[in-house]
Structure 1
Amino acid sequence: MTGIGPVEPGEGTRARDVPAPGVPPPAEAPRGPLTQWYVRHRRAVLAVAVSGAVLVGGGYLYVTRPRQPPPPAPPFPSQVTDVAYAGRAEPPRNGPLGAFTFAVELTVSSGPAVTVTRIGQPSAGLSLTSVPRPPFRTRTGSPRRITLTVHVGECAKVPRNAGLPFLDVTLRNTSAIQVHSFILGELYAQDLSEALQVACGNNSGSSPKS
């Protein structure tokens, strides 16, 4: 017997139940109190979940966003500051005889500005003045020229061989305050030794030549 019958659902498919005309649709399954509460407040629940936390099983499930790593700390001032010898300079007016005036160039290679709060030298027989006078600031990419004058106080305490003399410079930036010793090189040592010889010569007394 041949004919066209109803089309059977294919494999992996399911025909929906269509109610017959005039037959009311089946009633929805009853919802519990928790389900009804969720339906009424699901927008608020989703908002709380997105903003940070949602109550689950008596505890909190936290939804966190990835945190950006903190920026690196600024370098210490001694790591980015350099002081270079720039040769002899014009002595100050009415300066004492035998004083040695020279210039240095201070540069800051990176990071925040560096403040020089003190410049000194280790010899007990010498003193040091500078123009400009500390404290002063130097910014990255803006070298500063500093004029220094070494004053001879007591020849007996002045070293006869300057060797590798250095300057003690106190530096400050937003990271730290440091005292750093800068060796200015052979030319500075030679010029300083010559100036000390002129000021004191073979004099072993307590005062330089006038």
Structure 2
Amino acid sequence: MSGVGPVEPGEGTHAWDVLDAAPPVTRRRRGRVGAFYERHRRAVAAALAGAVLLGGGGTLYATRPRPPAPLPPPYPSQVTDLRYLGWEPGPEGAPERSFRFGVELSVLAGPPVGVTRISQPYAGLSVRSSPAAPFRTGAGSSRKIIVTMRVTQCRKVPWNAGLPFLDVTLRNTRAIEVHSFILGQRYAQQLSQALQVACSNDFR
């Protein structure tokens, strides 16, 4: 055949023989690039795995901060309420010049609140309660308390109690507090009446 044309492969020659014919240095250079990439990939993977394993001291700690510390429990006076219920009839054989009334103590939240003492500001009155202090009341519950007062010295009690209150010592896991509860106008009126009856001769 005349003319110039493409060289026909000889007998027994295949297409992939061309790749095999590349210079050895080219194949080695390609191999070095692949090995470098593989080493780099393994190093990055190992660093990421180490950060996960480190937890508190590695990258994971920086992206997942510790939760804030829990708030302390409330002060007992912040969650305790004292409500005046009314006058209670005296039992048989009650001491002279004594009277009693009921209050309801409620704990709204937090740890249980203990009552360690109940008192009042007038020097001429003694106070005791049922149940007797100390006692505790849990959160979300109420307790009825019967307070008994007895006049010991008429000249040291007021003729007209304007804003009488009860001092209650409260305690929980946060603090111990003495809190003054003002029980309202009805309590003031009934207390004044009871004092006038108990000390009628002394007040004239």
Q: How many residues align?
A: 177
**Alignment-mate amino acid for residue 77 of structure 2:** S
**Structure-2 residue corresponding to 1:184:** 183
| Aligned match of 2:80 | 81
| Inter-partner Cα distance in structure 1 for 2:178 and 2:124 | 21
Contact 1:73–1:175 under 8 Å retained in 2: yes
1:51 paired with 2:53, answer yes
Q: Are residues 1:28 and 2:27 paired?
A: no
* TM-score (norm: length of structure 1): 0.72
Distance 2:54 2:106 in 1: 48
Render the CA deviation track for 1:121-170: whole Å, top value 9, x for unaligned. 01010010000011111122211100000111111111112111000001
Where 1:67 maps in the other structure, the secondary structure is coil
The aligned counterpart of 2:15 is: none
d(CA) in 1 for partners of 2:164, 2:145: 17
Under a length normalisation based on structure 2, what TM-score does the superposition of the two structures give? 0.74
The alignment partner of 2:32 has SS state of coil
Query: 1:49 Cα shift?
Result: 1.7
Max radius of gyration: which structure? 2
Cα distance between partner residues in 1 of 2:66 and 2:134: 40
d(CA) in 2 for partners of 1:62, 1:20: 46
Gaps of 5+ in 1: 1-18, 54-59, 205-210
Structure number having the greater helix percentage: 2
CA apart distance, 1:110: 1.9
Partner Cα separation in structure 2 for residue 93 and residue 141 of structure 1: 35
For 2:158 and 2:193, the matched residues in 1 are separated by 12
CA shift, 1:94, in A, is 2.8
Question: C-alpha offsets along residues 157-201 of structure 1, whole Å, 9 cap, x if unaligned?
Answer: 111121110000011122221111001111111111111111111
How far apart in 1 are the matches of 2:86 and 2:60? 64
2:151 equivalent in structure 1: 152
